[in-house]
Structures are given as structure tokens and as C-alpha cells.
Amino acid sequence: MFKSLILIILFFKFCTSLDTLTTNKYIKDGQSLISKGNNFALGFFSPGNSSYKYLGICYVKVTPQTIVWVANRNHPIIDSSGVLSINQYGDLVLHDSNNRPLWSTNVSVQDQVTTSPVAQLHDSGNLVLVQDNNKKVLWQSFDHPTDTLLPNMKLGLNLKTRINTFLTSWKSKDDPGTGNYCYKMNLNGSPQVFLYNGSTPYWRNTLSPGNNVSIATSSSGQKFFFVNNQDEISSYYSDDDPSIMTRVVLDNTGLLQKLMWDDGVHQWKEQWSTPRYQSDKYGHCGSYGKCNPDNINRFECMCLLGYEPKSPRDWYLRDSSKGCVRKNSGLSMCKNGEGFVKLEHLKLPDSSIDAALIGTSMSSSECEQACLTNCSCTAFTSMNTDGKGTGCLAWYGELIDILQYTDVGSELNVRVDATELAKYTRKSKRSLSKKRKLAIALVSIAVPMFLVSLLAYIWLAKKKKTKVKRKVHKQSLNFASTRGSFEGHELEDGSTHPDLPIFDLSCIVAATENFSPTNKLGQGGFGSVFKGQLSNGQHIAVKRLSKSSRQGIEEFKNELMLIAKLQHRNLVKLLGCCIPEDETMLIYEYMPNKSLDSIIFDHTRASFLNWKKRFEIILGIARGILYLHQDSRLKIIHRDLKASNVLLDTEMNPKISDFGMARIFKEDQTQDKTTRVVGTYGYMSPEYVIFGQFSTKSDVFSFGVILLEIVSGRKNCDSYQKHPSQNLIGYGNYGEKIELWI
């Protein structure tokens, strides 16, 4: 008799659900296996337009349905139902309605009397079969993936169980059967992960050489791991934020994609994909060829130094399939004065063909000597193998699938004969000589100019210092700054603000670590902003007016007066000021999320800003403007509203800042005119730019531009080459659909 656990699951008819399957539980039609965190479900599905049914795992909270694993991918259920059971041998077995086995875990527990297998669907998406008494894992779906790699799912070889984990594509969107493409680790030479089309390499991803390696790298909220030791050779990734859903999927066309679920728009957003371009494909430039995808107007392929096209005619016609061959200089490459030329920022050549790790603790010179003494060695590289030692990886045959990067990648030392080595050395010396001559010429010109400029600067600084002192005294700011005490400051109407302290310079210097560059938050037309921390632990932002700033004492006084009088949750809070002699500084509350433009125009950070939060930011800015125009005691026109002047606090609440250009209107005043137009082009209204007329409508126009930028993720000043207009507003006026960059 079978001790069976029967499971008939339909994804669209969840009546009851379990997170653990045992022999004591019987699951009827319409039930499902759900992970404890309600992230994944196990059940039957029909892909696309197919009428066949398959047993698989999908996301619970994602619509439309997204499948991450399929059990019977090559043996579909052709009738109306399927049955999943734990048989007498402890195997999970899938049967059709005629009791024909379609799929099995095939582990066969020997001591079934004392061990009762339990099936669990973990919140990671891993279906696990364990022994109930000792929790030993008998089988898991993470060891047998289909087309999807989930966080913490390993890709590679387990040296103890000999299980090789790899991805294979679906045949089509309607058929999850094993397709033509495979993403698999190749252990020959140095470990690499290949994307194969059948048995033909289609794309290659390099890893790190050496044994006893455990390397972790971070990028955009994710960690990538590579492990090479006596137990396993594998790679995997994890997310810093477990609430974010990501997956790597190999589709039926051979495209490998990293996707992230955007809950705001209910879509999977692509983070990266490969191969996207012709140059990404394996061996595009042939043997001894190097591919440079940045050569837009030229052929992207070029031969390595000392090599030439094997077929010049085909190469001229941009057919690089035959690759390159060594130039015929009449000299041998074996102990005949040859040497190595260093190439930088490369994707290293395929190390699965005639390549070997010849040492794990060799210096670069030792590695070069070892390669030089072997006449078959064509190239070598020194690479970090365990975070401490340096490994020597050498190639003994053709160099293929080399890609040129701009500022990343590895070094490769290519063997060349004595003739090519001499040419390269002479060229390097000429280049170095030119650089030296240029440097000497620049120094001989720069030093006298520097001395003259320094003397002129000292003279102007003294003159400006005297002028500023007179201006401060003349405008009667009447600030008094003494050690450990302060007085009230006089506003334009003669009143004082008792809650606005004057900070001592030594306090600000200590808080900002003497205005250290590491504490610098940004810079604008007024000068620089520095992050600081007071002795009581409070974080502050110090706005330091530059001596060369377009804004002067008048703007400083204006901003100080206005913010001191204005109090609103969507306006930045002024904590005080500091005016030691010719310095002018304002001290604000610190905004940890910086300015709005630093988020909405950064594709990585903007992806975490859902539509609800964007709408809240828009409403917050609108409330701040309404307060300035209507609800405050003073009627204020900001005149410089833009994304960089909207700061975000810890909760992403917007706060309008920078009131240096603001103007006060009388209660019955509707507009004013100026001959000095200030602000930022792209945000200023037409009547203000052309005629100098400004009013509350000017701020509303600026707000509209910010709103468009928040919604589209594009800067107003971005160029739109295919359209007559050169900004975001004009682009929309021509009836075009604005592409969202978020």
C-alpha cells in the first residue's frame, strides 16, 4: 500500500492552503501549497494559449502570473487534472488522471518506517523535501531550476552531491519544455559561465580563478557571490532588501534578463539584459581579435598588437569571423627576444580552451617569467584568487572573445615577437617624451601665472573684505557673535526673532570638521553646502556663501528674514546663522535624502520611488507654494522653484528651500516688474524671461515644470533631437507621448 499525500492544485481556485505537506494531510482539488510569507504558490497552470497543464511554482502577489519553476516541463498533463503524492519510497511523484507517472524527485528514502518525508515550499521559492525527524534535505527545486534564477539560488557544481545546477530556456512562451538555450558554468581552465545555443557558446561571463575562494561584490542594493572550494564551485546573488522581488530569467530567444518587480506600476522592470548587441556575442571578432563596441563610426573589431586580419578582404567588408593571425616578421616566438605587451580594461579571453591556472601565489614578474619560458604560452594575467594571494592564469592557444571596456575590466599581457616589442617600446617612449615636454611647457607657463594670480587674489581679497565690512555695517544687520552667547537680529521691519540663534564660528568649524570635502553635500550659485553634527548630536546643513557668488549680502539678508518669519511643514527650517567678519552662513535642518533632482533623475534611485510617493511629493510642494502665496502672513513669490531647491527629509516629505531670490508682495499686489531677471532657465515663465514680469503665476509655471519632471523622470533641459523643441515642455506640446524613464 502507498502512504500517499495527494495534491490536486488549481492556481485560480484557492479554497484552502497549507504551508507544509505531510502524510497526515490530504489536499483536495482546489487547494494549494503556499509559502509561509505568502510569496510563492505551488500548483497547476496552463501557459499562454496552451491547453496542457504543468506543475509549477509562481509568485502569489504578482499579476499576471509569473512562473519561476516547472516540474514536468517535458511531460505535460494532457487531460483535466494531475495528482502529486508522496509514495512509499518517500518520493514526490506527479501522476496524471490515469495514474501514469510524469515526474518524480527520484530520491527513494531507504528507512521510510522511521522517517516521514515532509514537503515544504519556502518563502524563497524553494520547494524542499525533508525528513521529518532530522530535517535532512532529501531534494530541493533550487538544485533543479528551469529558466529562472532566484536570489540565493546557486548556479554551478556541488562537488559533494555532483549536482550541476544550470538554467535552460523554455521552447516558447506557450511551451515550458527544454529549449535551445542553456546558461551553465564551465569548469575548464578558470571557472566561467556560458550561455549556450545548443552546444555552441553564445555569450560568456568571466568569474575569478583559483581555489578556496569566497568573493562578494556589491552593486545597486545587491550582492554577487562566487565560491570555489572543496565543496562547491558556484555563483549566486542576494538582495539587500528582501521585500524587493527580483529574478534572472533566460527566455526562449536566448536573452538573459535581470528583472525587478515594480509594485507601483505592476510590471517587471529590466535592470540589465545580455546579449543585446552584436559585439556581446561570443567570439564576434574571431581569434586574436578585440571587440570595442564604442567604435561607433568604425568597425568594432581590431586585431591585437602583433596580429593582422587573416582575410583582409573579409575584414574590410566587416566580416571578422576568420579572426586574426600573427604578423610574419621572420622571427620566432620562442626565446628570441620576445616579450609581453600589457592591454588594460578587457574582458579576458575564453579560458576554457588551452588555458590553465599555473600558480596561486605568484607575483606578476614570476608569472611573466613562467609564461616566457614556455614557448606555447601566448598570454597571461595576474588575478586576485582569495583576497590575499595572486594567481597566474596563462593561455597556450588562441585568444578568443576579448572585449574592450572603457574604465573597468582586467589586464592581459599578450606575447609579441622582438620586432613588435621594439615598435611598442619606441612608441611608448615617444608618447612619454611628448607628455614630459608638454608637462614642462605647462609648468613653465603655469608657475608665473599662478604667482601673479596669487598676488592679485590676495590684493582683491583684502579689498573685498573691507568692502563687505562696510556693506554689512551700512545695511544694519546688527548681528553680534560672541563666544558662547548670541543676541537677537534685526529684521527689515525693525523687529527681532527670538528663536533664531547666532552660532559661533568655532562651533560650525567643529561640526563640519573644518568644512571637510567629505562633508560637502553640493554646490550652487550661492556657494557650497556642508553636512555637520553639533555637539548635542543634531545633524545640520551649513549653507556657506561663496565670496565669488552671484548672491550677496542683500540675498543673504532676504533669505534670513523670510525663512525666520515663515513656518510650514513643507518649507525648510532655518536653525540659525553665523557671520564672523566677512563670512556669511545659514544653518538649516539636515535633509538626509538630499534634493529631489538627485532621486528622480537617477534611474536606480528613482525605481524605488513608487507613484504613491511621487503623488505625495507633488502635493507637498503644492501645499508649500499655497502657503507662500496665500496662507502665510506675507505674500511671497519664490522666483527660483526647481527640483534642486526641493529637499527631502527622512520620510521623503518635500521641503522648499533657497529663498535668496524671493520677493514680498503687498496684500493687494498681483504682479511686479524687474530689470534683473534671476532664476534658472527652463523653470522661469516666458513673461518673466522676456519682460521681467513676475507674480504668483511665475511660481505656478515653475511648479508645472517640476510636476512634469517628477512624472516623466526626465530633465526639462534634456535634448529631443527628433523634435523642433529642445525641452520637455515643448516635446509634450508637439503631441508626442513622453517616455517614462522610471
Q: Is the N-terminal amide bond of 517 cis, ω within 30° of 0?
A: no
CB-based contacts of 578: which residues, under 8 Å, 6+ apart?
481, 502, 503, 504, 505, 507, 508, 542, 585, 587
- Within 603-682, residue ranges assigned H as helices are 603-606, 611-626
Q: Are 692 and 677 in contact (CB under 8 A)?
A: yes
Q: How many helices (H) and strands (E) does the chain have?
A: 11, 48
- Alpha carbons 585 and 576: distance in angstroms, whole number: 9
Q: Are 38 and 22 in contact (CB under 8 A)?
A: no
Phi, psi of 739 (to 5 degrees): -75, 130
Q: How far is CA 235 from CA 217, 326, 547, in A?
A: 11, 36, 54
- The alpha-carbon radius of gyration of the chain (Å, integer) is 34
Bridge-based pairing state of the strands 82-86 and 192-197: unpaired
What single string gives the DSSP state of each residue in 550-588?
S--HHHHHHHHHHHHH---TTBPPEEEEE--TT--EEEE
Give burial (CB, 10 Å; 0-12/13-18/19+) of 616: middle
End-to-end CA distance of the chain: 58
Phi, psi of 126 (to 5 degrees): -95, 120
Q: Are 596 and 654 in contact (CB under 8 A)?
A: yes
- Alpha carbons 731 and 603: distance in angstroms, whole number: 21
Q: Are 402 and 347 in contact (CB under 8 A)?
A: yes
Q: Which three cell numbers stand for residue 277?
A: 548587441
Q: How far is CA 39 from CA 65, 149, 567, in A?
A: 12, 16, 45
Strand partners, 103: 94
Residue type, 543: K
Q: Enumerate the active-site residues.
A: 640
Q: Is the N-terminal amide bond of 275 cis, ω within 30° of 0?
A: yes
Q: Are 261 and 150 in contact (CB under 8 A)?
A: no
Strand partners, 404: 346
**Residue spans of beta strands (DSSP E) within 187-255:** 192-197, 200-206, 213-219, 222-228, 232-239, 246-250
Q: DSSP letter at 512? A: T
- Alpha carbons 307 and 327: distance in angstroms, whole number: 5
Bridge-based pairing state of the strands 32-34 and 17-18: parallel
- Alpha carbons 401 and 284: distance in angstroms, whole number: 7
Q: Is 451 helix (H, G, I), strand (E, B) or coil?
A: helix
CB-based contacts of 405: which residues, under 8 Å, 6+ apart?
345, 346, 347
**Does 184 count as an annotated binding residue?**
no
What interhelical angle do 611-626 and 696-712 show, nearest 10? 170
- Distance, C-alpha 398 to centroid of its chain: 35
- Within 216-295, residue ranges assigned H as helices are none
Give all strands of the β-sheet with 40-45 in edge-to-edge order: 17-18, 32-34, 40-45, 54-59, 67-70
Which residues are documented as binding site?
543
